[in-house]
Structure 1
């Protein structure tokens, strides 16, 4: 019976993010379609998509300027003062930031001694340690994310001396494939197609 609960959990892990994404996207487009249909005399298929994409680009462009950054910062502080909303907003923001920046984050594949010396695990170097962490070590340390096989959304962040990591000259895509397939597909070098 354990296998049923295991497969049920795995199914939820796959279906829930897809369902939430589909729900949000469909609702954004249907809301935009209704809004445009109410206020604009013209209507054609794909208008909502064009408007949403245009608004995303405009907000992204404006967010690089001081005034909108200040307004957004104020709005975030305001949301941060409401207890339940603060938790939801911060959680969603952190997850979306992680997802959209994951291609940048999971680039530098390395081997690290994990879970104990003498054993090596494939991991990815994370951004530099913050000052409160770095000052606790007498030599340079690095944060490495060691993902769990078959599931990139979970793993372990380990902090270890830079001298203990072994850089790999492999493509980030093949390193990710190695993790996702539990080692069935071995990492390929940056200069090879095999």
Structure 2
């Protein structure tokens, strides 16, 4: 029975992320398909996928031109004038910019003393401290993100003295697997092939 429950948990670990990702992608394409099916004279299976891909490419292409940049800036100024919408939009924009443009997000795994000095948690070194934060510290600190198990989007952004950080020689993928699986999959070194 113990083996069956282990297989069941392993199956959940494999299936749940795939299922959630597939669900979100299918919902986006299905919504596009429904909208276009109602308003376009020509309809064929897969038009939603084609439409979403074209929309993303055209928006990315146009955003590099002066006129659309000005329109986007105007739209952002408009959103800035609405209190709650301003907060939500700016937070999502900053997060998506960090995720899609940063080559270093979740790259350097480290051990930090968290949640108390006697314990150690795996975290990831994030961006450099801003000047106001750095000036407020009596010694050099580093910004470290410590994700929560089972949900990498939740976690704690902590400022740790640089002397207390222990660099790890592990792949970022295995560090993320370790955190996501609550320690059931142990991290491996950079040079170890799976």
With the length of structure 1 as denominator, give the TM-score of the two structures.
0.75
Task: State whether structure 2 residue 108 is matched by structure 1 residue 108.
Answer: yes
Please say if residues 32 and 52 of structure 1, whose CA atoms lie closer than 8 Å, have aligned partners that are also in contact. Answer: no
Task: State whether structure 2 residue 178 is matched by structure 1 residue 192.
Answer: no
Aligned to 2:118: 118
Does the C-alpha gap of structure 1 residues 156 and 165 become closer, same or farther in structure 2, counting only changes over 3 Å? Answer: same
Please say if residues 110 and 165 of structure 2, whose CA atoms lie closer than 8 Å, have aligned partners that are also in contact. Answer: yes
Please say if residues 29 and 52 of structure 1, whose CA atoms lie closer than 8 Å, have aligned partners that are also in contact. Answer: no
- The answer to which of 60-69 and 171-180 deviates more is 60-69
Aligned to 1:140: 140
Count of aligned pairs between the two proteins? 177
Over the aligned positions, Cα root-mean-square deviation in angstroms equals 3.0
Aligned to 2:50: 50
Please say if residues 145 and 158 of structure 2, whose CA atoms lie closer than 8 Å, have aligned partners that are also in contact. Answer: yes
Aligned to 2:30: 26
- Cα shift readout 1:146-191 (whole Å, capped 9, x = no counterpart): 1122221222111012222111121111101100111111111111
Gaps of 5+ in 2: 1-16
Aligned to 1:89: 89
Aligned to 1:7: none
Alignment of 1:146-165 (within 5 A): 146-165=146-165
With the length of structure 2 as denominator, give the TM-score of the two structures.
0.75
**C-alpha separation between the residues in 1 aligned to 2:144 and 2:84?**
32
Secondary structure at the aligned position of 1:147 is classed as strand
Gaps of 5+ in 1: 1-13
**C-alpha separation between the residues in 2 aligned to 1:66 and 1:182?**
47
